[in-house]
Structure 1
Amino acid sequence: MSIFIYLGFLILSPLSIYLANKLLYSGKLRNYSVALISALLVYIFIIVSVAYINNKLDNQLAAFDLNGDGIFSGIEITPDQEKAMQEVIADTGRTFAPITGAIFCSIYFLVLWLVLTVFPQVVKLFSQKIT
């Protein structure tokens, strides 16, 4: 997955929830709820992305298991198999994704909540100074 997909999701999820709140719910959801729902969606997106990558790497590695016994031996061990094995076992980021995802989403929630709370007040303040 591309970095642009992740960045797009980070931007579009709160925007779509905010617009849905304004259009469908007449603004009944508080900024806190909009930020919380967005953070939860981003967390789910992170976990699903990690599961997708794990599945993809496992399938690439399983392609080298010719006899299907789950153990690599003999002619199954090739430089390409070793490279695929290294990609599966060497990434601790996927292992710790639920923890780092929770930390990231907590920070994301706080920043988003502050933006949703402070931005309208700043706009209101500047509009009063202009008039």
Structure 2
Amino acid sequence: MNEALSATFQVILVLLPIVAAVVVWKNKEPKKRRWLLSLLATSLFGYLILLFNSTLVDDSLREKILEFDLDQNGTFSEEEKTPEFKEMAERLTSDTARRLAPITGIILYPIYSAFCHFPLFVITILKRRKNRENQAAHTTPASAPR
């Protein structure tokens, strides 16, 4: 159950900035402030999802390792330390990526979100500039005094 939920959160983490950028881009006249708000919101929500997912995986591994505590005393005797236990304990203690996710996520996820937003933002700016040039070319100058 937790593995499926974790995989769902990982898909959301990948798609969230892409969808947000496309939604802002599809708006008729998105302003720079809307782009910035979208970037900040996706960075914040993505980071929160990342933290939740990291906690979810950690709790799932802790639950699995507690299944090896047969006498439910919170410690593991030599009889309880099976090869499966040792493998699970190794997975729990050696997952550096999960432990560093809060630190790296606060730096890298906003950068990823910016990479998703920036190309569409540039296209919007270029389209807006082209429209202004076309409008300026179609307007007739006021007649000059003679």
TM-score, normalization: structure 1? 0.76
Q: 2:142 matched to which residue of 1?
A: none
Please, which of 57, 70, 74 is the counterpart of residue 70 of structure 1? 74
Please, which of 107, 114, 117 is the counterpart of residue 118 of structure 2? 114
RMSD: 3.2
**What's the offset of the Cα at 1:124?**
4.5
Question: Is contact 2:43-2:113 (8 Å) kept?
Answer: yes
Equivalent runs, 1:19-34 vs 2, <5 Å: 19=23, 30-34=34-38
Q: 1:93 matched to which residue of 2?
A: 97
1:35 aligned onto 2:35: no
1:82 aligned onto 2:86: yes
Residues 92-113 of structure 1, C-alpha deviations (whole Å, 9 max, x = no match): 1111111110111231243244
Structure 1 Cα separation of the partners of residues 111 and 122 of structure 2: 16
What amino acid is aligned across from residue 44 of structure 2 in structure 1? Answer: L
What amino acid is aligned across from residue 6 of structure 1 in structure 2? Answer: Q
Structure 1 Cα separation of the partners of residues 117 and 36 of structure 2: 6
Question: Is contact 1:14-1:34 (8 Å) kept?
Answer: no
Q: 2:60 matched to which residue of 1?
A: 56
**What's the offset of the Cα at 1:77?**
1.0
Question: Is contact 2:39-2:117 (8 Å) kept?
Answer: yes
Structure 2 Cα separation of the partners of residues 55 and 75 of structure 1: 24
Q: 2:140 matched to which residue of 1?
A: none
Question: Is contact 1:14-1:38 (8 Å) kept?
Answer: no
Question: Is contact 2:39-2:113 (8 Å) kept?
Answer: yes
User: How many correspondences in the alignment?
Assistant: 126
